[in-house]
Amino acid sequence: MTIFQSILLGFLVVCAISVSFSRNLLNSILIYMSYSLIMSILWVCLESPDLAITEAAVGAGVTSILFFATLKKIQAIRIENEKTAETAQRNGKAETAHE
Amino acid sequence: MGVFEWLRLIAGCLFLLIGLVIFFTEIFGVFHFRYVLNRMHATAMGDTLGISSCMIGLMIFSGWNYTTLKLLLIVVFLWLASPVSSHVLARLEVATNENLGAHCTVYPELKTLEQELACAKPEEADLQQNGQADHAFSTGGETK
Amino acid sequence: MLYHNLYITILVILAVMLFPCLIRAVRGPRIADRLVSVNMMGTMVMVMIAILALMLDEGYLVDICLIYAMISFLSVVVLSKVYIGIYEEKRHKAEHPEDETEGGKSDGSF
C-alpha cells in the first residue's frame, strides 16, 4: 500500500513541477486537472470519500473550467501557430510551423 | 477456499489481466502514432474495452451486491459518453489544425466524399495504398 | 489476504502506467493531444478508484468513480467546445480585420 501511495506522491511532485515549467497557460490548466485527479485517489486511499468527491468535482470540473473561462476573457490563449511563430522570432531560427 | 472460490478468483484475474493488457496497448498506441487523430483510436479503445473488462473482473470479485450494480452503471455510462467525447475532440483537432491535409484526405463537402466512395467501389485496391492514415474527414460544417 | 496482494500489484501497475500519460500530456504538441491524455488518465483513475473501493471493501467509494466518469467527460467536452469557439473567433478576426469596431461577437456567448 505504501508503494502505491509513494508512486502517487511522486506523480504529484512531477505534476506540480511540470505545471510551473510549462510555457503555455492552457497546458498548465490541463496538468492541474491531472494533479487534482491524483489527489482524489489519495483521498480515497485515506478512506475519506467526501473529500475525494469534492476534490474530483472541484479540481477537474469547476476550477479548470473557470480558469479556462478567465483565460478566454483576458484573451490570453495564444493559439498554436501564433505561439510557434513567436518562439521562432524570439530565438531567431526558422523553426518549422508544425513538427 | 472451495472450488467455486478458486473459479471466481481465476475468472476475475483473467478479466483484470485483459484490462491491463488493453491499457498497455493503449499507452503504446498513444506513443507510437504521430497524429492526434490516430492517437484517439488508441484512447477510445482503452475507454471502452479496457475499463469494461477491468470492471467485469471487479464485478466478479465483488459478488452479488449494489457495488456490482454501480460498477455496471459506470461501464454503461462510459460506453455512452466516450464516443461523444472522442467526436468533440476530433472536431477540435480539425478546427485547430491548418495543414490537416498533410496526413489525411480532407473532403470540404460531403458530396465529394460520397461520389468518391460510389466510384471507388469497383477499384477497391488502389484506395488502400494511397496514404498512411486514410482518414476521410468531411468538415462540411466549418467551411466559413 | 490473497485478494489484498492482488489488488496492490494491479494498483502499482496502474500507477506506473500513469506516468507515460502525464509525459504525453506535457509533451503533446497540440491541444487535442493534451485533452486525449487527460481523458486517458481519467479512465485509469477510474479503474484505480474501483479497485481501491473493493480493497477497502466500502461500497460507497464506487460513487466517486461514477462521478469521475461524468466529470472527465464533461470537462473534455466543455474545454474543446470553448477552445473551438476561441479558435474560430481568432480566425474570424484574422480573416476580416475590418469589423474590429463592434468588439467581436463572442463576448455574449461565454
Task: Show pLDDT as tens, one digit a residue, over chain A (99 residues).
Answer: 888 899 999 999 999 998 888 887 888 888 888 889 889 999 988 888 889 889 888 888 888 888 888 887 877 666 555 555 565 666 655 555 544
Determine the pLDDT at residue B72. 92
B8 & B69 share domain: yes
Q: Above 50 in pLDDT, residue B28?
A: yes
> How sure is the predictor about C28, in pLDDT bands with cuts at 50, 70 and 90?
confident
> How sure is the predictor about B20, in pLDDT bands with cuts at 50, 70 and 90?
very high
B64 & B26 share domain: yes
- Looking at CA atoms only, how far is residue B78 from chain A in angstroms? 17
- In this structure, the number of other CB atoms found within 10 A of the CB of residue C85 comes to 15
> How sure is the predictor about C12, in pLDDT bands with cuts at 50, 70 and 90?
very high
From CA B137, how far away is CA B119, in angstroms rounded? 18
The pLDDT mean for chain C works out to 82
Q: Across residues C28-35, what is the average pLDDT?
A: 83
Determine the pLDDT at residue C105. 47
Among the partner residues C40, C47, C77, nearest to B30 by beta-carbon distance = C40
Q: Read off the pTM.
A: 0.77
Q: Where are the domains of chain C?
A: 2-96
Q: Which cell goes with A64?
A: 479548470
Residues 6+ apart with CB under 8 A from B22: B45, B46, B49, B50, B53
User: Each residue of A46-65: pLDDT tens digit?
Assistant: 888 889 889 888 888 888 88
C-beta atoms of A34 and C21 within 8 A = yes
Between B124 and B104, name the one with better pLDDT: B104
Q: Which cell goes with A22?
A: 510549462
Determine the pLDDT at residue C106. 46
B125 & B65 share domain: no
Q: Give the total number of structural domains in chain B.
A: 2
Which of A98, A73, A71, A75 is CA-nearest to residue A85? A98
Which of B84, B118, B110, B97 is CA-nearest to residue B37? B97
User: Each residue of C74-95: pLDDT tens digit?
Assistant: 888 888 888 888 888 877 887 7
- Looking at CA atoms only, how far is residue A44 from chain C in angstroms? 7
What are the b/e assignments for B131-142, b being 16+ CB within 10 Å?
eeeebebbeeee
Render chain C in DSSP notation, one character per residue: -HHHHHHHHHHHHHHHHHHHHHHHHHH-SSHHHHHHHHHHHHHHHHHHHHHHHHHTT-GGGHHHHHHHHHHHHHHHHHHHHHHHHHHHHHHHHHH-GGGGTT--GGGTT-
B89 & B120 share domain: no
Between B131 and A73, name the one with better pLDDT: A73
B135 close to C (CB below 8 A): no
Which of B21, B82, B88 should we substitute to test contact with C (largest number of C Cβ atoms within 10 Å)?
Answer: B88
- Looking at CA atoms only, how far is residue B70 from chain C in angstroms? 7
B113 & B134 share domain: yes
Determine the pLDDT at residue B34. 82
Range scoring the smallest mean pLDDT among A52-66, B2-16, B70-84: A52-66
From CA C59, how far away is CA A36, in angstroms rounded? 22
B82 & B116 share domain: no
B8 & B54 share domain: yes
The ipTM, to two decimals, is 0.76
B24 & B87 share domain: yes
From CA C15, how far away is CA A11, in angstroms rounded? 9
B124 & B81 share domain: no
B16 & B37 share domain: yes
B7 & B54 share domain: yes
CA-based diameter of chain A, in Å?
54
Four-point Cα dihedral A71, A75, A79, A83, nearest 10: -100
Highest mean pLDDT, choosing among B11-15, B103-107, C52-56, C67-71: B11-15
Determine the pLDDT at residue C9. 92
B26 close to C (CB below 8 A): yes
Q: Above 50 in pLDDT, residue C104?
A: no
Q: Are C21 and A35 in contact (CB under 8 A)?
A: no
B19 & B88 share domain: yes
Determine the pLDDT at residue B122. 62
What is the span of the domain harbouring residue B135? 105-143
Q: Across residues B45-49, what is the average pLDDT?
A: 86
Q: Which cell goes with C68?
A: 469521475
Residues in chain A whose beta carbon is closer than 8 A to a beta carbon of chain B? 79-81, 97-98
Q: Which cell goes with A69?
A: 473561462
